[in-house]
C-alpha cells in the first residue's frame, strides 16, 4: 500500500457549547487522493460482499444476510469513492465545563459535526475556524 496517497493534517476547530460560549481545539484531518479513495472503497465493499457470500451458507438467515450485505457493499463502495477527506480525531476543551478531552476513532466523519462532552454530557458543535 502506498502511504503517500493519504495526507494527514492537524487543523484548528471551534467547539460551540450552550449559548454563545465557544473554545478552540484541533482536528486530525486525513485527505485521500483518487487512488486512495478507490483502494478504500474496494476494500470496504469486498469485506461486505465476503460477509454476504459467507452468509449464503447459513440456512434461513441467508434470505436476509445476502441481500442486505450485497446492497450495503454497493452503497459503501459509492459513498467511499466520494469521500475526499475524513476526520479521524478531535481534541479540545469543553466551553461549558472546561473538561479537556480527546475523541478518537470517529470513523469517517466530517466537520461540522456534533459530539457529546464526557464531563457535562452537553452536545457540542464542532466547526472549522
Ligand atoms: Zn462539558
The Cα 41–Cα 105 span in angstroms is 19
**What's the gap in Å between 105 CA and the centre of ligand 1?**
19
Residue 104 sits at φ, ψ, to 5 deg, of: -105, 175
Protein residues placing their CB within 5 Å of the ion ligand 1: 94, 96-97, 117, 119-120
Cα of first residue to Cα of last residue in the chain, in angstroms, is 33
Would you state the cell numbers that stand for residue 62, as one nine-digit string?
441467508
Task: Report the separation in Å between the CA atom of 108 and the middle of ligand 1, taken as the mean of its atom positions.
Answer: 24
Q: Decide if 74 contacts 45 (C-beta within 8 A).
A: yes
27 closest CA partner among 11, 6, 7, 14: 11
Q: Which three cell numbers stand for residue 5?
A: 496517497
Residues 22-69: tens digit of each pLDDT: 999 999 999 999 999 999 999 999 999 999 999 999 999 999 999 999
What are the sequence ranges of the domains in the chain? 3-128
Give the H or E element holding residue 9. Answer: strand 6-16
Q: What is the pLDDT of residue 91?
A: 93
| 58 Cα to the center of ligand 1, angstroms | 46
- pTM for the model: 0.72
Does the pLDDT value for residue 6 go beyond 50? yes
List the one residue out of 77, 82, 85 whose CA is nearest residue 111: 85
Amino acid at each position: 500500500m502506498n502511504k503517500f496517497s493519504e495526507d494527514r493534517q492537524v487543523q484548528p476547530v471551534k467547539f460551540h457549547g450552550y449559548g454563545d460560549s465557544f473554545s478552540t481545539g484541533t482536528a486530525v484531518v486525513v485527505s485521500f487522493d483518487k487512488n486512495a479513495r478507490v483502494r478504500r472503497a474496494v476494500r470496504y465493499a469486498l469485506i461486505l460482499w465476503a460477509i454476504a457470500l459467507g452468509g449464503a451458507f447459513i440456512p434461513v438467515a441467508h434470505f436476509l444476510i445476502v441481500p442486505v450485505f450485497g446492497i450495503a457493499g454497493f452503497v459503501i463502495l459509492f459513498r467511499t469513492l466520494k469521500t475526499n477527506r475524513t476526520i479521524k480525531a478531535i481534541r479540545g476543551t469543553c466551553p461549558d465545563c472546561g473538561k479537556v478531552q480527546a475523541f478518537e476513532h470517529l470513523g469517517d466523519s466530517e466537520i461540522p459535526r456534533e459530539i457529546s462532552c464526557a464531563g457535562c454530557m452537553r452536545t457540542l458543535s464542532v466547526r472549522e475556524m
